[in-house]
Amino acid sequence: GAVVSQHPSWVICKSGTSVKIECRSLDFQATTMFWYRQFPKQSLMLMATSNEGSKATYEQGVEKDKFLINHASLTLSTLTVTSAHPEDSSFYICSAQRTSAYNEQFFGPGTRLTVL
Amino acid sequence: LAKTTQPISMDSYEGQEVNITCSHNNIATNDYITWYQQFPSQGPRFIIQGYKTKVTNEVASLFIPADRKSSTLSLPRVSLSDTAVYYCLVGDYNQGGKLIFGQGTELSVKP
């Protein structure tokens, strides 16, 4: 149990286009999901907290108008990178929090975004 | 959120026990300690979580001293497939569940 999926697993796009990444909790409901970004040889950096039915909370330095987050249901959160540029190329990872005594977070497999 | 400090890298050989220690001097009363494993181009995978003393599961043990200012992840008899980055995280999961990743420890297991 506790499986989180992401789609697509990789995407290549042209500069200036928008890209949507989906994060789904397959066998549990997740009121809260998180989005991270990871550059090569670096640690994960938390971008935002996604709450079902409310606006996302962004970490300092993350542009909310560039990284649009929608958490429309208890099993789906989407991250849209708007007007992508080469510097947005990165590995994007989501996690979903399962409500329990420890509120464990389970991570998706990640999405590799390459902006040409 | 409590900051964590881990060794940047460690080397080991197949069949050995590996212990990775993490410092978290500013851990709060309600914080839990969680360890994740990450392979290249994959999302982190939950290994183990604990609050105090010792926790053991089928893949690892977690040792937490009484003052909780550090913790040690113990991997018994590692294999080549345990080569990965290991992250120690501290957080109060009843307060929004935010996880702030530190640099992690890159474990290299050699034959």
In this predicted model, what pLDDT tens digit does every residue of B6-20 receive, in sequence order? Answer: 999 999 999 999 999
- Residues of chain B with Cβ-Cβ distance to A107 below 8 Å are 36, 43-46
| 3-class DSSP assignment, residue A26 | coil
CA A12, CA B37: separation in Å to the nearest integer?
27
Residue B47 above 80 pLDDT? yes
CB of B39 less than 8 A from some CB of A: no
Side chain identity at residue A67, one-letter code: F
Residues of B in contact with A33 (CB under 8 A): none
**Whole-angstrom distance, CA of residue B34 vs CA of residue A33:** 17
> Which residue is closest to A110 within chain B, CA to CA?
B43
List the single residue in A94, A106, A110 with the smallest CB-CB distance to B42: A110
Among chain A residues, CA nearest to B106: A41
pLDDT in tens, B54-90: 999 999 999 999 999 999 999 999 999 999 999 999 9
Sign of torsion over alpha carbons B43, A28, B98, B6: negative
Whether residue A7 lies within 8 A of chain B, CB to CB, comes out as no
What whole-number distance in Å separates Cα of residue A96 and Cα of residue B17? 31
Nearest chain A CA: its distance from B13 CA (Å): 23
Query: Which pLDDT band, with edges at 50, 70 and 90, does B108 fall under?
Result: very high
Least confident of A98-102, A111-115, B15-19, B102-106: A98-102
pLDDT at position B48: 93
Q: For A4-14, what is each residue's pLDDT tens digit?
A: 999 999 999 99
Task: Quote the DSSP letter at residue B55.
Answer: E
Is A62 at the interface with chain B, CB within 8 A?
no
Query: Is B91:B98 a contact under the CB 8 Å cutoff?
Result: yes
Q: Is the pLDDT of residue A99 over 70?
A: yes
pLDDT digits (tens, 9 = 90+) for A60-98: 999 999 999 999 899 999 999 999 999 999 999 999 988
Segment A22-48 mean pLDDT:
93
Closest CA to A98 of A8, A4, A35, A9: A4
The percentage of chain A sitting over the pLDDT mark of 70, rounded to a whole number, equals 97
Q: B50 — contact with chain A (CB < 8 Å)?
A: no
Is a pLDDT exceeding 70 seen at residue B93?
Answer: no
The percentage of chain B sitting over the pLDDT mark of 90, rounded to a whole number, equals 79
Is pLDDT of B100 > 90? Answer: no
Are A92 and A36 contacting, i.e. CB atoms less than 8 angstroms apart? yes
Cβ(A28)–Cβ(A98) under 8 Å?
yes
pLDDT of residue B94: 64
According to the model, what pLDDT value does residue B95 have?
61
